[in-house]
């Protein structure tokens, strides 16, 4: 065998070893990941409503407006309130609305600062009793995700562990596991994970990050095997060169 052929042989063996090692690390990385079956953005929210319905006589805010704590949203004229007052009842104001007994009106206010994400009120229309508006606090967005996991996978979830959130725009954000709950059915753990996503919470509410917006979550499971370190280093290298 000539030296040229020997070099080709050794070169081929080196390439084969490198490819096998890389594929092994990739397969190991995949075994450390869990993918959400359902995930969405959530945030701190407060509902505005009362047991009194009526006709909207003043509309002072629109859906999508930024509102301050205590800001007036709309006022209704309520026959039910007027009837209660005539019968000697004395309804009291709450954090969400103010009673005007002299005119039989209810003025609804924002119970917290944030964005008016839902609003049923419309000028000169009848508004039924119940939930009438929702205020969502900006900067409180987080993600809830459901996973269907085997017992082994569930045992490898760690509070404080890493995850990746992908928005409908395909942009990706780093996340951290903040809470885990589970219900097991037929040997499958249906796990609900809450994720802290700092970059998501730092942005104002838009169609992509308001409560209910669908997202995808990739959860990194704990791995204490001998390949854990090399796998992390290899995947970090791929990330740095833009492959992953």
Query: Which string of DSSP letters, residue by residue, matches the chain?
Result: --HHHHHHHHHHHHHHHHHHHHHHHHHHHHHTEEE-SEEEEE--EEEEEES--EEEEEE---TT-EE-TT-EEEEEE-HHHHHHHHTT------SSEEEETTTTEEEEE-SSSEEEEEE---TTSEE-SEEEEEEE-TT--EEEEEEEE-HHHHTT--TT-EEEEE-TTS-EEEEEEEEEEEEEETTEEEEEEEEE-HHHHTSPP-TTTSTT-B-EEEEEPP--STTHHHHHHHHHHHHHTT--
Does the pLDDT at position 143 exceed 50?
Answer: yes
pLDDT band of residue 236 (cuts 50, 70, 90) is very low
Does the pLDDT at position 231 exceed 60?
Answer: no
Predicted pLDDT of residue 132: 94
Predicted pLDDT of residue 152: 79
Domains (range + CATH), the chain: 31-43+139-235 (2.40.30.170), 45-135 (2.40.50.100)
Predicted pLDDT of residue 204: 67
Listed ranges 5-9, 73-77, 89-93, 94-98; the one with the highest mean pLDDT: 73-77
Q: Are 48 and 108 in contact (CB under 8 A)?
A: yes
Does the pLDDT at position 99 exceed 60?
Answer: yes
Would you state the structure tokens that stand for residue 49, as one six-digit string?
A: 């409503």
In the predicted model, what is the mean pLDDT of residues 165-180?
A: 91
């Amino acid at each position: 065998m000539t030296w040229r052929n020997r070099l080709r042989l050794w070169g081929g063996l080196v390439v084969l070893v490198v490819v096998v090692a890389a594929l092994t690390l990739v397969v190991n990385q995949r075994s450390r990941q869990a993918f959400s079956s359902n995930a969405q953005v959530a945030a701190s929210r407060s509902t505005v409503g009362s047991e009194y319905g009526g006709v909207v006589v003043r509309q002072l805010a629109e859906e999508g407006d930024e509102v301050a704590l205590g800001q007036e949203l709309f006022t209704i004229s309520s026959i039910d309130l007027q009837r209660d007052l005539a019968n000697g009842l004395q309804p009291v104001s709450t954090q969400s609305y103010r009673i005007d007994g002299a005119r039989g009106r209810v003025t609804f206010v924002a119970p917290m600062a944030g964005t008016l994400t839902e609003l049923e009120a419309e000028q000169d229309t009848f508004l039924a009793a119940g939930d009438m508006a929702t205020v969502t606090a900006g900067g409180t967005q987080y993600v809830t995700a459901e996973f269907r996991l085997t017992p082994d996978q569930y045992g490898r979830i760690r509070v404080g562990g890493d995850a990746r959130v992908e928005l409908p725009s395909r942009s990706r954000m780093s996340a951290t596991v903040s809470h885990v709950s589970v219900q097991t059915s037929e040997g499958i753990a249906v796990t609900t994970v809450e994720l802290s996503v700092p970059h998501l919470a730092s942005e104002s509410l838009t169609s992509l990050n308001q409560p209910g917006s669908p997202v995808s979550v990739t959860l990194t499971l704990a791995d204490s095997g001998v390949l854990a370190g090399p796998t992390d280093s290899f995947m970090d290298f791929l990330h740095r060169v833009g492959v992953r």
